[in-house]
Amino acid sequence: MAGTVRRGGQIAWAGLKLGVAVLRLRRRAPDLLPAYVSTTLVGLGTTFVKLGQGLSLRWDLLPAPYREALSRLHSDVPPFPAEEAMRIVEQAFGAPVGELFASFDDKPLAAASVAQIHPARMHDGRDVVVKITRPGIHAQVQADLLLLRRTMRVAQWIWPPLKRHRPLELVDELGAFLRDEIDMRHEAQNMRRMAKVLDALPGITQPHVVEPYATRNVLVQDRSHGTRLEAAYGTAAAPALARALLGAYVHQLFGAGVFHADPHPGNLFFFDDGRLCLHDFGSIGVLDPASRLALGGMVEAIAADDAEGVLDAAIAMGFFPSQVDRRSHVREIHLILAEMASRPLAQWSIAEAIWRVARIGQGAGFRLPAHLLSLIRTLFLVENTLRALDPNLDLLGTLSAQAAAIADIAEASRPSGNRPLAMRLARTARQLPQIATDLLRQAQLSDGRPAFSVHHHGLSSTQEAIARTGNRLALALVTLGLYVSGALLSLHSDGPQVFGHMPFLAMVAFAAAGLLSLRLVMAIARSGHL
């Protein structure tokens, strides 16, 4: 409880200083405010750094200078003492550092808001790095998330329009993301999964987990002796590295459906032989086969300036509901594509186009699911790195030229065709609504009305037969009801009686039922069909 109160005081003090800075700088030096906000979030630690990275994607909430400043948050913070790092390692593996490693460097290679890494060497001579979470990070994240929820509840009460952005759901998504990222076992699992994807590519690699050294707080992995990708900016090797990075993500997104979701420059390295190396697998994204096909279709449609195709792909990806006002949405998408096409090629952005298309599909309460936000963030980061490597890269033209190959990759990623016939038929049945939608769209006039009509020939006899059958069925039901009524009346009626003990009303019911039965039998006999 005391820790939560103390942490709340820290956050409140930081918020107060930020408020004073806003009042002081918004008129005299507004250009300094985005950097000040970024610095404040870094000072508050992991939770707020990740919150800032998430907010950098919210075009609907923040102006461009703030989004740009927050997108550059890479969580670089001062390291914690080496003695504390070794204590955490020994506690995690139940053995002294000297027994676990042949050597362990006290000086960390890097320190971030989640963890810091120390170089080490295994007893077999293998160079490794030891990734150690910051002391108390789990408790701090829990306290921060609790305080954020309480703050958002109060903020919603003070300013009701905030509710349309669903801030509590945003905090919950942030919490789920953070709990995974600060658990080294989760990162180890991601590394094993990504290794199956990247090991198959000739121009890209990644460190591997040193088994079985993966616990909640410590992860041991291969050491990569590459150079940070930023060092290649402006060099002769940069264009080739850009092509390798683009090819790697085409394969991840459209082929494997699993992708490294945090490709900021600090996580990208290269070797002298031109290979790329990805680091930090705390966050990966997953796309199912249908989403991969839809994403490939969207990229192809954007490259071809096909607003109708973009809308169809957006519906398939979940950016739009299945029932939409096609005319208005197609018009808005066309305007987006036209505006993007007017830019210089160096400023063209597939990620921005996808984001803006998704934005119009959600209306005033726009908020994409977390996995789609992760996808768009990844696309933005990859594009920024590609342009930093090769400012002359024609991303649109390159993707347009690869459109057929991308479609083939996505199609090839479908589940294997050696499945039972029933499963293949079921998958085909699920696709029929989309096929029908496409056919109807193609048959529409410009005002949205269907451009076709249906006429039949030779169906009159069939209609008459169906009508006769319905009449006979109704007659049979009425006859059955009369028989049942006659039986009940013969048992319980107290009225006048005929033929000894037969109630008169029962006699009437049986007589009517008999006449109807005769009529029904004669009709069937005339038809010649039982």
Q: What is residue 37's predicted lDDT score, i.e. its pLDDT?
A: 80
Tell me the C-alpha distance between 334 and 354, whole Å.
Answer: 13
Q: Which DSSP symbol is given to 450? A: B
Rounded to an integer, what distance in angstroms lies between the CA atom of residue 194 and that of residue 256? Answer: 9
Report which of 285, 287, 313 is spatially closest to residue 377, judged by C-alpha positions.
Answer: 285
- Per-residue pLDDT of the chain in tens (530 residues, 90 and over written 9): 556 667 777 777 777 777 777 777 777 777 777 777 877 777 777 777 777 766 765 655 667 777 777 766 655 578 899 999 999 999 999 999 999 999 999 999 888 878 899 999 999 999 999 999 999 888 888 888 888 888 888 878 887 877 776 777 778 877 887 888 889 999 999 999 999 988 888 888 999 999 999 999 999 999 988 899 989 998 999 999 998 999 899 889 888 889 998 888 778 999 988 899 999 898 888 988 888 888 888 888 888 888 998 888 888 888 877 777 888 889 999 998 888 878 776 677 888 888 888 878 665 445 566 777 788 888 888 988 888 898 888 777 777 776 666 666 666 655 554 444 443 444 444 455 555 555 555 455 444 455 544 455 555 666 666 667 767 676 777 777 777 776 766 766 666 776 666 777 777 777 887 887 777 777 776 766 55
Distance CA 11, CA 201 (A): 45
Domain positions in the chain: 2-74+140-179, 77-135+183-223, 228-414, 460-527
As a whole number of angstroms, the distance between CA 225 and CA 99 comes to: 24
* 8 Å CB contact between 118 and 99: no
Q: Give the closest residue to 60 by CA, choosing from 358, 324, 288.
A: 358
In this structure, which amino acid lies at residue 281? F
Q: For 430, what's the count of Cα atoms within 13 Å in the CB-facing half-sphere?
A: 7
* Pairing of β 110-111 and β 115-121: antiparallel
Count CB-CB contacts under 10 A for residue 494.
Answer: 6
Q: CA 269 to CA 232: how far, in whole Å?
A: 9
pTM for the full predicted model: 0.68
DSSP structural state of residue 454: -
Q: What is the pLDDT of residue 270?
A: 93
- Phi first, then psi: give them for residue 111, nearest 5 degrees: -140, 130
Name every residue whose Cβ is closer than 8 Å to that of residue 442 and which is 6 or more positions away in sequence: none
What is the spatial distance between Cα 93 and Cα 212, in angstroms, rounded to a whole number? 10
Alpha helices of 45-183 — where are they, by DSSP H? 46-55, 64-71, 82-93, 97-100, 137-158, 167-181
Q: Which amino acid is at 454?
A: V
The candidate with the shortest Cα–Cα distance to 483, out of 504, 511, 503, is 511
Residue 508 tokens, joined: 């009437």
Amino acid 259: pLDDT: 93
Phi, psi of 268 (to 5 degrees): -120, 125
What are phi and psi for residue 320, nearest 5 degrees? -125, 150
Element spanning 17, H or E: helix 2-28
Residues 6+ apart with CB under 8 A from 187: 131, 181, 219, 280, 281, 282
* H helices present in 447-503, as ranges: 460-492
Classify domain 77-135+183-223 by CATH number.
3.30.200
